[in-house]
Amino acid sequence: MSASSFQTRLPCGSRVLDLSRPHVMGILNVTPDSFSDGGRFAQRDAALRHAAEMVAAGATLIDIGGESTRPGAAVVGEQEELDRVAPMVEALSAELDVVISLDTSTPAVMLEGARLGAGLINDVRSLRREGAVEAAASTGLAVCLMHMQGEPSTMQSAPYYRDVVTEVRDFLQARMVACRQAGIPVDNILLDPGFGFAKSLEHNLRLFRHMGSLHVLERPLLVGVSRKSMIGNVLGRAVNERLAGGLALAALAVEKGACILRVHDVAETMDAVRMAHAVCSIE
């Protein structure tokens, strides 16, 4: 299966992604610490430099998030999230030729981000917050719908599935229907199994192994496994020692037909993805 067998172009605002090859999305976190008193402009410059480096290394998307989705992370207010994300979207869209992805569940951030030049809404809550699906539809942007049971603050307490692959597939299908009913064109929809979100190690491994089952939904897949605990749990590695495990999964994800890999280590992942794609493209 190639990067996308059913759709070759993903419209992302003023840009279009060619899905006949896999893409790398670089992660740019706009955390509370990075905008602490007095350092706001210096930190913004550092984040811009980091984004520019990721683009130079081959990232065609940059994912900007102002609210951490780690288990137990604090909820961030709407204004705070806007203050973190909006200046970065504005700066990135002025300076870089890249699709800006908004890692947000907040309708106001979707609307303002779209106005400032974002091309994709990446919502780990799959547009389930009040007003989110309507806000996303009104932007006309591409959306990434990710599977998650519960909320980031509670999700790892006791994840339970009868059949994780079927349940993830059914959830994503139901969210696609909700999006279609709200007026989001099917061609604007990406799907994501949500590795690490309310899933045990066995759930993550099984879902990864059978990721190809999600192709029945006929939508491009985005996969995020970079530095996640499923790598740490299998290999016994700390967060900063998970690159090799992440590259193995990136190559496997391409082989299973994923179109976009969300990662921290762009240059290394580009090599892994290009190599895997070269092999997978040979008849």
Rule CB under 6 A: which residues touch ligand 9MG? 65, 69, 103, 122, 124, 144, 146, 192, 194-195, 222, 224, 262
Q: Least CB distance from residue 146 to ligand 9MG, whole Å?
A: 5
Minimal CB distance residue for ligand 9MG: 224
Q: Least CB distance from residue 68 to ligand 9MG, whole Å?
A: 9
Catalytic residue (one of 84, 169, 199, 228): 228
Q: Least CB distance from residue 168 to ligand 9MG, whole Å?
A: 12
Q: Which is nearer to ligand 9MG, 65 or 113 (CB)?
A: 65
| 3-state class (DSSP) for residue 212 | helix
Give the amino acid at 282. I
Instruction: Count Cβ atoms within 10 A of the Cβ of residue 130 and give its class: 0-12 exposed, 13-18 middle, 19 or more buried.
Output: exposed
Q: How far apart are CA 186 and CA 248, in angstroms?
A: 31
Q: How far apart are CA 120 and CA 122, in angstroms?
A: 6
The beta-strand segments (E) located in 37-146 are 61-65, 99-103, 120-123, 142-146
199 is catalytic: no
CB 38 within 8 A of CB 66: no
Instruction: Count Cβ atoms within 10 A of the Cβ of residue 4 and give its class: 0-12 exposed, 13-18 middle, 19 or more buried.
Output: buried
- CA-only gyration radius of the chain, Å: 17
Q: Least CB distance from residue 27 to ligand 9MG, whole Å?
A: 8
Q: Which is nearer to ligand 9MG, 154 or 281 (CB)?
A: 154
CA atoms lying within 13 Å on the CB side of residue 34: 22
Instruction: Count Cβ atoms within 10 A of the Cβ of residue 84 and give its class: 0-12 exposed, 13-18 middle, 19 or more buried.
Output: buried
Task: Tally the residues of the chain.
Answer: 283
Q: Least CB distance from residue 282 to ligand 9MG, whole Å?
A: 29
Q: Which is nearer to ligand 9MG, 32 or 39 (CB)?
A: 32
Q: Which is nearer to ligand 9MG, 171 or 195 (CB)?
A: 195
Kindly list the catalytic residues. Answer: 228, 262
